[in-house]
Amino acid sequence: MDTDVLVVGAGPTGLMLACELALAGVRARIVERRTEPQHDSRALTLHPRSVELMDMRGLAPRFLAFGKPVPGWHFAGLDTRLDFAALDSRHGYTLFLAQARTEALLEERAGELGIRISRGYETTGLRQDATGVEVEVRGPGGAVDTVRAQYAVGCDGGRSLVRQAAGIGFPGTDETLTGMLGDFADVDADPAVLAAARTRGVLVVPLEGGLTRFVCIDPERMRIPAGQPVSLEEFRTSLTRICGSDCGVARPRWLSRFGNATRLAAAYRSGRILLAGDASHIHFPAAGQGLNTGLQDAMNLGWKLAATVNGWAPPGLLDTYDAERRPVGQAVTENTEVQTLLAELTLVPQYQVPAVALRRLLDELLSLEEVNRLLAGRVSALSTFYPPMTADADPLVGRRVPDIGLIAVGSEAIRVYELLPRGRFVLLDLAGDTNLPQALAPGWRSRVSAHAVTKHDEHADLHGVTEVLVRPDGHIAWSTRNTDADTRSSERTAALAAWAGAPAGGGAS
């Protein structure tokens, strides 16, 4: 094999996935058709769960150094904001950070992990057999080469060649609405003018390098196909029509059109070929969920694929990637369609009056704490829940682990997420059984980090819980409230075997 896993696409999802694989000792190579990193940024945000993922890997300070935390967010541009700060997270905010910077920071991490990124290599064909995948790539000089890997992952966007070559369907709805975005240098406009533009539905955001982004949907131009280029004249005319001023835009760095085509891959896996990010789901960029969903795909897939390559994955583990992440993709595509419809109705003359009334009603509903928390949890991905394998599982199983502070034997005060930078399982005995780390079978210790907790922060979700097994992606694989040591030992052994595979060399805890 030329490599263990070939990742097609060096966007945020592909970079994140390769880093997760390399962290587990898997040889990962990325091929990317672009010859240099992307400088323009469609996405501008990292939502709370994505920041948590970076925190788990010890990378959060890098992102926080460049990003700006924004405590509130929006749903369909409604006036009542989603209150991320009220959610149960140390990162209850959206981190305003351009996609180009996110990619640069992930590429920096990939370099530290020794990941090979081949730029200027376009994937032209793909086939699989019982033992691996062969991917044809055309290099910068035009020569075609074949790369053989155990697995290939398409992180190559909405037009994914990997998905097409694998024969995976991409059902959904075609584009019916488009908007425009433009990044402009040296915008010369009175702040009051820009404030007025925002009240008329134009997104106005300062970016790095002295740029200002404008995003708008012009009722008279919203049926123009997304593939049609945007001109400066068109953009200025649309701004003037919407808000009465062209807002002083004159020097575009980037102009683009985007649409609401919404599609979800029929499967995230076909044999040794898998999909992640936009290759598996596309939608209107409502509430900035696309990039974040891709990062979370990568975090879910990375450790499972690594376990499979490394030979210790329990039966069916890799299949749980599709089972867990495809429903999340479906939920995201559905909520973005709802948000897009709310925006579109206000732009169609015959629907404007009822649409305004509907938005007013939804604003009232969002002012209710329970409703706000429900939607905030979904958009932030903090409420993402993976159904447990068994019906009698503890209620915590499948949920993200709370990042509580604790004191474990042999360590000073530490947070749960600070135990996850190596991408291993974490076993916590909250009852303070100091024998647990030694009781763990040696064959599991390369995959599982065990800690006897003598003291921890109070948290409602953990009331009465005596032991927790945390997956490498920060979700709970198993938890128990049993106080009998022998019963807990039996439950623990079963949970470890189900998730972390058979211990190397045999034996059990």
DSSP letter string, 17-82? HHHHHHHTT--EEEEESSSS---S-S--EE-HHHHHHHHHTT-HHHHHHH-EEESEE-STT-SSPE
Q: Is residue 276 within 8 Å of residue 155, measured between CB atoms?
A: yes
3-state secondary structure 285-314: CHHHCHHHHHHHHHHHHHHHHHHHHHCCCC
The verdict on domain 3-173+262-380 having CATH code 3.90.1300.10 is: no
Tell me the two tokens of residue 236: 């200025």
Q: For residue 336, which amino acid is it? A: T
pLDDT of residue 508: 54
Give the mean pLDDT per block of 10 residues along the chain (509 residues). 95 98 98 93 96 98 97 92 96 96 98 97 96 96 94 97 97 97 93 92 92 96 96 97 94 96 98 98 96 98 98 97 98 97 92 95 97 97 95 95 90 93 96 81 92 92 95 98 92 95 74
Q: What is the DSSP string of 129-164?
A: -SS-EEEEEE-TTS-EEEEEEEEEEE-S-TT-HHHH
Whether 3-173+262-380 shares its CATH topology with 178-259 is answered no
- Look at the block and give the residue holding tokens 């079963």: 494
pLDDT of residue 505: 79
pLDDT of residue 434: 81
Q: Are strands 273-275 and 269-270 parallel, antiparallel or unpaired?
A: antiparallel
Residue 207 to residue 216: CA distance in whole angstroms? 17
Residue 45 to residue 210: CA distance in whole angstroms? 18
- Look at the block and give the residue holding tokens 């995230």: 268
**CB neighbour class for 450 (10 Å; exposed up to 12, middle 13-18, buried from 19):** buried
pLDDT of residue 507: 55
Residue 404 to residue 399: CA distance in whole angstroms? 14
SS3 437: helix
Q: Is residue 67 within 8 Å of residue 96, measured between CB atoms?
A: yes
SS3 253: strand
pLDDT of residue 72: 86
H-type alpha helices, 60-98: 60-66
For the chain, the C-alpha Rg in angstroms (whole number) is 24
pLDDT of residue 509: 46
Q: Is residue 330 within 8 Å of residue 265, measured between CB atoms?
A: no
Residue 188 to residue 210: CA distance in whole angstroms? 12
Model confidence pLDDT, tens digit, residues 86-119: 999 999 999 999 999 999 999 999 999 999 999 9
Domain boundaries, the chain: 3-173+262-380, 178-259, 405-500
What lies within 8 Å, CB to CB, of 142 at 6+ separation is none
The verdict on domain 405-500 having CATH code 3.40.30.120 is: yes
Closest CA to 336 of 256, 261, 226: 261
Q: What is the third-level CATH fold of 178-259?
A: Alpha-Beta Plaits (3.30.70)
pLDDT of residue 404: 95
pLDDT of residue 412: 83
